[in-house]
Amino acid sequence: MKKLLIAAITLLSLGANANEVALLQNVFAHESLLLNGDWHYIVDVQEEGYYDYRMNLNRWGFFQNAKPQRPEDLIEYDFDKAATMRVPGDWCTQDQRLFFYEGTVWYKTSFQAAVPVEDYRTLLYFGAVNYDAHVYLNGKHVGHHVGGFTPFNYDVTDLLRNGENVLIVKVDNKRHKDHVPTQIFDWWNYGGITRDVMLVRVPPVYIEDYSLQLEKSRDAKAKGPHTLAFSLKLNQKKAGEKVTLTIPELKLKQQFTTDDQGCVSATLKAKKLQLWSPANPKLYQVQIATDRDFTGDSIGFRTIETRGKQILLNGQPIFLKGVSVHEEKPNGGGRANGTEDAHTLLTWAKDMGCNFVRLAHYPHNEWMVREAERMGIMVWSEIPCYWTISWTNPETYANAQRQLTDMISRDHNRANVIIWSIANETPHSAERDQFLGSLAKYARTLDNTRLISMAMEVTSASNYKNRLQDNMHEYVDVVSFNQYIGWYRDVNDAPKMQWEVPYDKPVIVSEFGGGAKYGLHGAKNQRWTEEFQENLYKENTAMLDKIEGLSGTTPWVLKDFRSPRRVLDGIQDYYNRKGLYSDKGEKKKAFYVMKKWYESK
Ligand code: GCU
């Protein structure tokens, strides 16, 4: 855990973000002012509010929120006259003019603050902003963040003023080859402030991060108390700080003292501990207190490991009955956020018999992960190293590593998160192996208690023999691959197919499937009919049963989702139609094939 924080801090210093501080663990448990709501916005296609006509940074940019002082003053923008849209949310589904828009939008909100409040600090937290965000408070540049799916926070104590405060965010979702993800991807590039924004009050010395989980590798048959591993880090290297950990239900209350790094690292015994599992998603109320700070969390305890080709949860082999999911509301509603959206999507997955979801292809919001934990659903969480990333660009690597760090920082206390995935469908090359190999090794330094994987691919068979061959097998705990027999290749040949996965590791088929337009019926060899998709699933599931060491599957995909790459009129209409549900939650025939197959697992 310490390495996690050191890594985070190093990365932080990379960006010129003087106000940026390490990610605050369990932010929703802190006293906070939610800044969600209707924010004014200005669409700025040519970034008139950021550059002057010579493309130099414009000191009088929109971040100044300037107002004419005298009648002759020329100010050519006014946020308070501008329209508003909901934050969190994407702009594509809130303003029809912006459905396809990729560029800059300025957001503005204001809030009242009474400062200073004794010696407390105030952090400004964003759950996520897609993609490139410049944050300004009262006209001052607070920080710059890139990456559309991970949280970030700034200490803005010294920028706050008494009374009205003006927060302005320049958001740009333009795609670029050196970004992560790169310039092409098969999902909608929802731009905007897509997750919660809040002001968080913390004491000068606060609990920056902590980790509490079952110590690894205890023989399943072992009796007696379990051992919990506890560690904590203050935001300052303060020694001698008293830390009290309490788990009332376990009658556990223990005190620790921080070392000269402001850290605690200890183990403690827990009697009669119920382990977290899909059948019993047991969570314990945990309280952690210092002299001036307090945080409460719901934490589950479990072990996850592999043994040969098996995945073991709490020492027992388990089959991951999964489905791949995009972070998108049903009914064309844009980026999902919040418990309600999560519950809807996860209930659809559970109805299919799932105990596992692959959250593709980027870290989903925290509500999704926590709701899955409450519902007993295990999670694969992934960073968007998707398709052909700029493997040799050091900035691209730093960006990917930062997203990996923040994904793990945010969710490392979630018992249901069992797999960190570092990539999807990446082309083989030495540069790619170098890039991803480093990321995989790095992930282990941040968290050596979970499994590392990535979605490899098998795109062809020779003489009906499919063989997975990927150098990255060395770096992962679980070898996962995508295959599209019956859709992108070898239609109706699944029954003849053989598989060879020459690695002594568990296998997950992380994508398979095909498209169907809900309600379109016809012959089973007629593309886009439900019958075609149903038949494809029947043939694929029978074929998958033949794969030695198969420990899980996450068919592509839970529901139809928007993609700018899907342009077939009358069928796709900018939707990827590979859902087992339509976008409205209507079950397609293939759904029942998967449900039946999972009942057999
Ligand atoms: C790929 C990719 C997905 C994509 C899917 C498809 O495998 O990983 O993001 O949507 O195939 O083609 O539908």
Query: Using CA positions, which residue lies closest to atom 10 of ligand 1?
Result: 186
State the DSSP string of 226-254: EEEEEEEEESS--TT-EEEEEEGGGTEEE
Ligand 1 in reach of 186 Cβ (< 6 A): yes
φ, ψ dihedrals at 43, nearest 5°: -80, 125
Residues with Cβ within 8 Å of 73's Cβ and at least 6 positions away in sequence, in order, are none
Q: What is the mean pLDDT of the chain?
A: 95
Using the atom order of ligand 1, give the atom closest to the CA of residue 563. 10
Q: Span 267-284, mean pLDDT? A: 96
Question: Measured in angstroms, how far is the CA atom of residue 402 from the centroid of ligand 1?
Answer: 24
Joined together, the tokens standing for residue 25 give 């663990």
**Could you tell me whether strands 316-317 and 320-325 are parallel, antiparallel, or unpaired per DSSP bridges?**
unpaired
Question: Measured in angstroms, how far is the CA atom of residue 186 from the centroid of ligand 1?
Answer: 6
Query: Tell me, what's the pLDDT at 14?
Result: 45
Joined together, the tokens standing for residue 441 give 């090794």
pLDDT confidence of 221, banded at 50, 70, 90?
low
Ligand 1 in reach of 366 Cβ (< 6 A): no
- Residue 66: strand, helix, or coil: coil
Residues with Cβ within 8 Å of 101's Cβ and at least 6 positions away in sequence, in order, are 43, 91, 92, 191
- Of 424, 536, 556, which is best to mutate to test ligand 1, by the most ligand atoms within 8 angstroms of its C-beta? 556
Structure-derived torsion over alpha carbons of residues 405, 396, 481, 377, reported in degrees to the nearest 10 = 30
Is pLDDT at 9 greater than 90 in this prediction?
no
Place of tokens 């004794």: 118
Query: Tell me, what's the pLDDT at 2?
Result: 45
The residue ranges of DSSP E strands in 58-149, in sequence order, are: 84-87, 104-113, 121-126, 132-137, 140-146
Is pLDDT at 83 greater than 60 in this prediction?
yes
Query: Tell me, what's the pLDDT at 93?
Result: 98
Joined together, the tokens standing for residue 360 give 């593709």
pLDDT tens profile 38-81: 999 999 999 999 999 999 999 999 999 999 999 999 999 999 99
pLDDT tens profile 140-151: 999 999 999 999
Is pLDDT at 362 greater than 90 in this prediction?
yes
Is pLDDT at 589 greater than 70 in this prediction?
yes
Ligand 1 in reach of 425 Cβ (< 6 A): yes
- Of 182, 184, 185, 186, which is best to mutate to test ligand 1, by the most ligand atoms within 8 angstroms of its C-beta? 186
Ligand 1 in reach of 424 Cβ (< 6 A): yes
Is pLDDT at 291 greater than 60 in this prediction?
yes
pLDDT tens profile 373-393: 999 999 999 999 999 999 999
Joined together, the tokens standing for residue 33 give 């002012």
> Prior bond to 88 cis, omega within 30?
yes
From 444, 405, 417, select the one nearest 152 (Cα to Cα).
405
Q: Which residues pair with 294 in a beta bridge?
A: 289
pTM for the full predicted model = 0.96
Ligand 1 in reach of 421 Cβ (< 6 A): no
